[in-house]
Amino acid sequence: MKVLVTGGAGFIGSAVARTLASRGDQVLAVDIGPPSRRLDAGLAASAKLEFATGDLTEWAQIAQLIKAFSPDAIVHCAAIVGVLNSVSAPFATMRVNVEGSLNLIEAMRLFDIRRMVHISTEEIYGPFDSDMINEDHPARPVKPYGISKYAVEQLARDYVRTYGLDIQHVRTCWVYGPGLPRPRVPKILIDAIIEKRSLHMNGGGDFRVDHIYVDDCVDGILKVLDHQDHRHDAYNIATGIAPSIGEIVATLKTLEPSADISIAEGDYEFTKGVSPVKKGALDISRARQELGYAPRFTLKAGLGAYLDWRRSNPV
Ligand SMILES: NC(=O)c1ccc[n+]([C@@H]2O[C@H](COP(=O)([O-])OP(=O)(O)OC[C@H]3O[C@@H](n4cnc5c(N)ncnc54)[C@H](O)[C@@H]3O)[C@@H](O)[C@H]2O)c1
């Protein structure tokens, strides 16, 4: 397959691009920023992987790239990511996530590219009604990030109905592992361990959210990409388990007993005054049954793999 990966220099996009190239697909990774170290490693390892600079919000650039490469499918990972980033930059979030995605979908229509897998998020659900939710949970996003991602889902559905495109949405959760760019759990804890710093968080220990190791997330994305004749257009790709942040701290301490980290009980705040909504686990039965998706990394195995990577990548 020829696959165009947007956000190909990013955390998930670079992992998707490298994995596709290593199994023999021809991949064009597109990003507004330069190739990251992890994408560079993939570019050096495989002639099947190429990189092009491109800004999703620049229609002419995106149309030209898609026309010239003519992919069989697109994996759309580029975005302004995260609640906090979207709160600090709401206009840019809408422009990149909504208008940028629309540019991509319009180019698909014009140049007859039928398949896209869009990386969506659990934020589209808004506050969870229960501790575990499936894809039928109402979409009530509350922050610009989740609102922008749900807008993309709905725009895509319109294009699917009207023009016969084939677009699926991967609703993933808190992805972690090598290269995680955002200063949140578990990165901040692992950074403190590697740098031999003390980190004592004064709240948030009770907050529960599904955490998925990046390799499992990539595996789920590829399972959605490879499947034909989907019965649904949205799949939770997660683990089905929502550890508390207190449990993550405790697991890290069993992996590295000298770690000087702790967390107090209570609710979590991204930053002062910005808290996540109630979350929990994402039910992965649909992906399990229809796609054969099964996460391989337990929390302990994923945190251990991330720690090992950080030990050999100290900066
Ligand atoms: N990491 C997570 O925990 C998580 C959770 C749920 C969903 N997602 C989704 O997964 C996708 C990838 O996230 P990530 O964690 O790899 O984030 P990331 O920030 O590492 O990657 C996003 C990439 O998009 C690129 N980008 C931003 N604006 C662009 C533009 N105008 N044109 C072209 N490229 C642009 C960035 O340069 C970056 O490399 C996103 O769509 C995100 O919403 C991520």
Whether residue 141 is found in the same domain as residue 251: no
- pTM here? 0.98
Q: Which residues constitute the domain of residue 8?
A: 2-175+212-237
Whether residue 96 is found in the same domain as residue 222: yes
Whether residue 127 is found in the same domain as residue 164: yes
Give the Cα separation of 176 and 29 in Å (integer).
21
What total of structural domains would you count in the chain?
2
Whether residue 147 is found in the same domain as residue 290: no
The atom number, within ligand 1, closest to the CA of 12 reads: 16
Distance from the alpha carbon of residue 260 to the mean position of ligand 1, in angstroms:
31
Ligand 1 site-directed mutation target among 62, 76, 81, most atoms within 8 Å of CB = 81
Whether residue 85 is found in the same domain as residue 202: no
**Sign of torsion, CA 242 130 219 293?**
positive
Whether residue 191 is found in the same domain as residue 135: no
Please write the tens of the pLDDT for every residue from 293-313: 999 999 999 999 999 999 999
Whether residue 169 is found in the same domain as residue 251: no
Whether residue 204 is found in the same domain as residue 232: no
Whether residue 224 is found in the same domain as residue 281: no
Whether residue 110 is found in the same domain as residue 185: no
pLDDT grade for 115, boundaries at 50, 70 and 90? very high
Whether residue 21 is found in the same domain as residue 95: yes
**Sign of torsion, CA 115 283 262 298?**
negative
- CATH number of the domain within which 205 lies: 3.90.25.10
Residues in the chain: 315
Please write the tens of the pLDDT for every residue from 9-42: 999 999 999 999 999 999 999 999 999 888 999 9
- CATH number of the domain within which 36 lies: 3.40.50.720
